[in-house]
Each structure stands twice: as structure tokens, then as C-alpha cells.
Amino acid sequence: MLNKNKLINIIFATIIIAVSVLILVYLDIHEKSFRYEISIINKALVYAVIALSMNIAIGFTGLFSLGQAGFLAIGAYVTAILTISPEDKISVYYVDGVANFLQNIQFSPVVAILIGGLSAAIVASILGFPVLRLKSDYLAIATLGFAEIIRAVIATPQLNLPGLKINMNRITNGSFGLKNIPNFKSSLECFIYCLICIVLMIFIIKSTIGRDFRAVREDEIAAQSVGINIFKTKELSFIISSFFTGIGGGLLAMYLRSIESKTFSINLTYEILLMVVLGGIGSISGSIVGSFLVNVGKEVLRFCDTPQNIFGIQIPIFRTGFRMVIYSILLMIIVLFFRKGIMGGKEISPKEISKFLKRTVDKFNMFINRIKKKKGEIR
């Protein structure tokens, strides 16, 4: 039976979802007028899934894995290859042609995304055996190297293995990339995909498995003493994180509609890590907030890249590239004032919102009282 707080949280989440659906339906109806806004929202939603999947490994289990770009690439390429129509494949694979076993294959986006996620999970299960025995910086370096290997394999024209040569141009199209990837039919479709992924991850984090993850993060020796298998728990966390990262890669491919190996560089991993850190490591809400903060923030500040006139005077500092300067300064300010991220490991809930408002009111009253006290002393 649900207690009062859980029931309130469920009602609160339902209201947020309902309001979001209404907003997205309105935007879809007026798509021509809000095409730019819809694109930004879809991007933020996809990155919210990717950021939360990374948070499962880093925030909830304490695995400093930086291989997200590699798993994203696996999910994106598998999804793209399986969803591009046979007719479009002729124009996409215009160099060496498409492999015979892929020529007439086309799955629905849902099936292709799931296969992409499973492909990433299988690779993670194999990779996990050697790399998860490493810790901290060594694990980060190993997974970072893995991501670069995946990118190199995708971009290579021909893969030479002992006794076997594989023409990668006929599978991944090498450095030419893939295009004509089916897009989301609407922003509501993208929202549903992302919502399902986020809800599933929340269930996992709140379950016994999630509690094992947090126990390993807090103290491995204590966790082992109560019967938790440390390596198996880490491996499971790594696989689950990679599975949803692969799904996120498939969603990203559908959003972008065209991908290439350069899309999945190390910078992509760092950008996702930035979302996790800004939102709050170990916070579900934080990953979502961090995604919207980074993706929407960049677009809101786009006016800084164009010359601006104030009262007829042209401001010389507003030029191409100035947007990223302002953006970086704002990020530094957020990090200085919110050292544990905006959410600080907490979640958005009526209880937390009430506490935040109470603290804000108390601080405001203290400020007013100090001013009154100083005025009284002056008199």
C-alpha cells in the first residue's frame, strides 16, 4: 500500500506529464509556427535519456565510465541501418553498395531501437569483464579508449581481422555516414519514447537492484559484508546503463536524421557528463534538468552571436562565438553556487519544493530584518 508521500509524488508526476502532453500536442498542431522550439525540446528529451543512463553508472553506482559515445554510436548505427528503407539504401551506400544481408531489411523504429539497445548491452557485457576490475581514473581511460575504438571501426573503409576482411563501407558506410534516417512523426512520439525509457530507469533505480547500486557506491566493503556481489552488481549496472545509452543513440539518430563517426567524438561524452554534473550526480530529476539547461541554454543565448544595437549604439562584443563565452561563464557561476549540482542528489517533489520555498522565504525575511536593524542603528 502506498504511503501519503508516494501518492502525492505520483499525482505530482502525473500532473507534470499531463501538462507536458498538452503543450506538445499544441506545438504539434501548430508545427509550422513552432518548428524551431519543437526541435530544441526533442533534442533535450533525447539527451535527458542519455544523461540519466550515464547517471546510473556514475551517480548511482560510482563507476566513472566515459564510454558513452561508443555505446551511443552502436545504438545509433544499428537503429539507422535497420530503419533506412531499401529504396533509400541505394542512394545512401553509393560508394560500394550495401551488404546483401542488409539490402532488404527494414524494421519499425521501436524494434530497431530495442535491437540497438541490446547490441550496446551485449558489447558492454563483454567489455565489462576486463574493465570493471579497474577503478576510478583507470576505468575512465579504458572506457574512453573503447569509445574511440568503436568510432574508428565505424569510420574505417575495411576492417582486417585474422583470416577475415570486412568491407565496412557496405555496413556502416565508413566515413561517409548514414542519412535518410526516419524522423519522429511528432514531438509527442519522441516524448513517449523518452518517457518510457525514463520511467523504466526510475523503476530500476528505486528497486532492490538500485539499492544494491547505491550500496556499492557508498562502501564496497560494507556492501560485500551484507552479501552483495560487487563485481556482478557493477557489471549489471554497466549493462543497464549501456542498454539505455544504446536506446538513446537510436533516438539521437532519429532526431538528427543523418549521422557519421565524427558525431560520436569524445566531446559528446564530455557534454553528457556536463549535463549529469550540472543537474546533480545521483539525481534522476537532475539529469533531466541538466539536459534542458544545457540544450535550451545554448539556444536562448544564440542572440549573442549576432551584432546588437542598444539605443542606436552597436555593441562590439556581440559577435560570432560570444554566445559560448557567456554560456561558459554561466556554467561556472552555477558550479560555484551549486557544488553538488542544481538538484544536489535530491528529486523534484512537492515536499522538496515546499522546503525550497520555505528556505527562500526565511532567507528573505532575514535579509529584511537585517536592513531594518541597520536602519534602526543609524537612527
Look at residue 285 and tell me if it is in a domain: no
What pLDDT score does 19 carry? Answer: 92
Confidence tier at 46 by pLDDT (50, 70, 90): very high
CB-side neighbour CA atoms (13 Å) of 299 = 13
Same domain assignment for residues 70 and 4: no
How confident is the model over 245-255, as pLDDT tens digits? 999 999 999 99
In a domain, 284, yes or no: no
Rounded Cα distance between 71 and 76, Å, is 8
Question: Same structural domain for residues 182 and 214?
Answer: yes
pLDDT value at position 234? 93
The mean pLDDT value for 193-213 works out to 93
Domain count, the chain: 3
* 195 part of a folded domain: yes
In a domain, 295, yes or no: no
State the residue range of the domain holding 236: 41-264
Confidence band for 195, pLDDT divided at 50, 70 and 90: very high
Taking a C-beta distance cutoff of 8 angstroms, is the pair 273, 54 a contact?
Answer: yes
In a domain, 332, yes or no: no
Average pLDDT over the chain reads 87
The share of the chain scoring above pLDDT 90, in percent, equals: 43
10 and 86 co-located in one domain: no
The verdict on 117 and 205 lying in the same domain is yes
Residues 135 and 225 in one domain: yes
- The dihedral through the CA atoms of 369, 334, 190, 27 has a sign that is positive
Q: Do 98 and 25 sit in the same domain of this protein?
A: no
Q: Residues 110, 160: one domain?
A: yes
* End residue of a domain, out of 264, 281, 301: 264
Assess whether 62 and 144 both reside in one domain.
yes
Q: What is the pLDDT of residues 224-269, one digit of tens each?
A: 888 899 999 999 999 999 999 999 999 999 999 999 989 998 889 9
- Please report whether residue 90 resides in a domain: yes
| Residues linked to residue 178 through DSSP beta bridges, in sequence order | 259
Same domain, 136 and 72: yes
pLDDT value of residue 280: 87
**356 domain residue, yes or no:** yes
User: Does residue 169 share a domain with residue 66?
Assistant: yes
Exposure b/e, 319-336, CB count within 10 A at least 16 = b: eeebbeeebeeebeebee
How large is the greatest C-alpha to C-alpha distance in the chain, in angstroms? 93
Residues 5, 52, single domain; the answer is: no
Would you state the pLDDT for residue 358?
Answer: 80
User: Do 237 and 371 fall within a single domain?
Assistant: no
pLDDT for 102 equals: 87
In a domain, 315, yes or no: no
Model pTM score:
0.88
**What is residue 125's predicted lDDT score, i.e. its pLDDT?**
94
